[in-house]
């Protein structure tokens, strides 16, 4: 089921370039929030987009309600999308015959296909509406959603209409990438649609005019949808749009992390029944029964070796934890570093890992150690598991049995990741430099270099 996979993992399954880029953007930005910007003035729309831009993955517009629309509005929205790393979704809800929607999509005053990454349509007119929009959008690498359900009371978009809509989407997967829907439908083999849900709110249930609001957790965790669409809950009267956008971003993202981490989805895949056994604990204090500070309940923590039999667990774990996709050669090398690569178990469930690379130093009797990855699934953080992994690496590196001796351990941390910086500084690492364009594929491209010297260089 695609709902159990990370956005990044799912991005690899899409042939449509916009869907692929959108899922990568969500994972990179840690946002599944779309703001429905139903504003009637150009200035207000631009101001809102700039305020909420840092927190959203998608700006949803109703461009035909803007009284003073012009090309400059399009240019400014496009520039803001690039500045803040979000996409634009024109909520046009096309609903005419194929030839007419082709003209509405490509021509007229708005020329939607020229600037909107994603648009949507009803399927009431039949298959021709998809064919018409596809002729315009596919050559431009655009994507389309179908309205399978709506959030308003008394909607007729349900039952047979919804079933037929899903079947049409399956027929045109190269262009139709998902649905506007209230819940995720049963996947067939090869399905991985993006589900976007409007009518999301945290402070009230209804506006008295037919709009019904659902909490982000209900939408993402309970119903398995991917994107929460929020409007007045963010910029309504008396609300601080930036503050509310950040609030909804965190709520939606936490629900996503909870969804992919729940035992019957992600953890089931990380720990198949034939491997679910207590791993041999290493002889260290971190591999003992401990108690949680919150409820004094006992839990078991232990480290395990990376072997050919469980390296697949590590791969799936890294897909969830990191926005970088590691090549097969990375995992092949990990199998040869011994104690410098470990996975960590919490109550016999694999929840994190660390991978290092040994590096020879020309003209020296010591070697360097590079920490390539160190991470723990979100629900298991702040339990000391990351420290246990790092302490194991530090202790192993300082043991006399390591040949040649490790002179230095180093790593990179992306600019802005203050939590990671504090974590490594707490363990004795020092910032020794800045690396420009270290992450060329990301919006934040630069990184800090941190190191800890164990043996002075000769």
Work out the end-to-end distance of the chain between its first and last CA atoms, rounded to an integer number of angstroms.
55
- H runs (alpha helix) in 322-382: 328-334
Sign of CA dihedral 226, 227, 233, 234: positive
Q: How far is CA 283 from CA 209, 245, 278, 376, 454, in A?
A: 64, 47, 15, 21, 22
Question: Do 125 and 96 form a contact (C-beta atoms < 8 A)?
Answer: yes
Distant-in-sequence, close-in-space partners of 235: CB < 8 Å, separation ≥ 6: 35, 37, 39, 48, 52, 241, 244
C-alpha span between 255 and 1 (Å, rounded):
17
Angle between helices 127-137 and 160-171 (to 10 degrees): 40
Q: How far is CA 404 from CA 342, 428, 455, in A?
A: 20, 22, 11
Find the catalytic residue in 30, 42, 93, 315: 93
| Catalytic residue check, 171 | no
Residue 245, both tokens: 């956008």
Question: Do 375 and 352 form a contact (C-beta atoms < 8 A)?
Answer: yes
Which of 274, 261, 195, 244 is closest to 26 using CA atoms?
Answer: 195
- Burial (CB count within 10 angstroms: exposed 0-12, middle 13-18, buried 19+), residue 204: exposed
Residue 12, both tokens: 């690899």
Question: Do 50 and 80 form a contact (C-beta atoms < 8 A)?
Answer: yes
C-alpha span between 28 and 328 (Å, rounded):
22
Which of 384, 239, 235, 236 is closest to 299 using CA atoms?
Answer: 384
C-alpha span between 232 and 230 (Å, rounded):
7
3-state SS assignment for residue 171: helix
By annotation, the residues acting in catalysis are 93
């Amino acid at each position: 089921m695609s709902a159990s996979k990370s956005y990044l993992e799912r991005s690899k399954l899409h042939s449509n370039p916009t869907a692929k880029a959108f899922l990568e953007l969500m994972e990179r930005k840690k946002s599944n929030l779309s703001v429905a910007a139903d504003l009637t003035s150009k200035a207000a729309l631009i101001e809102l987009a700039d305020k909420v831009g840092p927190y959203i993955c998608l700006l949803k517009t109703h461009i035909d309600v803007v009284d003073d629309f012009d090309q400059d509005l399009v240019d400014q929205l496009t520039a803001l999308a690039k500045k803040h790393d979000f996409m634009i979704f024109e909520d046009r809800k096309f609903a005419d015959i194929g030839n007419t929607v082709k003209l509405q999509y490509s021509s007229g005053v708005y020329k939607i296909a020229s600037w909107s990454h994603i648009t949507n349509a009803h399927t009431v007119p039949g298959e021709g509406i998809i064919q018409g929009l596809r002729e315009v959008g596919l050559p431009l690498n655009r994507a389309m959603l179908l309205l399978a359900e709506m959030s308003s009371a008394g909607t007729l978009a349900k039952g047979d209409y919804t079933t037929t809509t899903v079947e049409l989407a399956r027929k045109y997967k190269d262009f139709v990438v998902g649905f506007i829907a209230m819940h995720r439908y049963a996947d067939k083999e090869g399905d991985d649609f993006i589900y976007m849900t409007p009518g999301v709110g945290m402070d009230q249930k209804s506006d008295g005019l037919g709009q019904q609001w659902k909490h982000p957790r209900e939408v993402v965790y309970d119903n398995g949808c991917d994107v929460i669409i929020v409007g007045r809950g963010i910029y309504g009267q008396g609300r601080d749009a930036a503050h509310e956008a950040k609030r909804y971003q965190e709520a939606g993202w936490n629900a996503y992390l909870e969804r992919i981490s729940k035992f019957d989805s992600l953890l089931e895949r990380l720990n198949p029944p034939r491997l679910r056994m207590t791993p041999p604990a290493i002889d260290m204090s971190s591999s003992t029964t401990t108690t949680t500070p919150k409820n004094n309940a006992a839990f078991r923590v232990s480290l395990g070796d990376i072997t050919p039999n469980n390296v697949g667990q590590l791969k799936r774990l890294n897909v969830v934890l990191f926005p970088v996709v590691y090549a097969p050669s990375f995992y092949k090398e990990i199998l040869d570093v011994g104690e410098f690569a470990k996975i960590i178990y919490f109550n016999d469930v694999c929840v994190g890992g660390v991978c290092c690379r040994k590096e020879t130093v020309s003209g020296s009797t010591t070697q360097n150690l590079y920490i390539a990855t160190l991470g723990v699934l979100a629900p298991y953080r702040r339990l000391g598991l990351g420290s246990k992994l790092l302490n194991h690496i530090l202790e192993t590196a300082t043991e006399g049995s390591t040949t040649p001796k490790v002179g230095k351990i180093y790593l990179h941390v992306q600019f802005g990741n203050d939590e990671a910086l504090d974590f490594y500084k707490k363990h004795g690492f020092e910032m020794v430099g800045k690396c420009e364009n270290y992450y060329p594929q990301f919006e934040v491209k630069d990184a800090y270099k941190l190191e800890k010297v164990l043996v002075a260089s000769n």
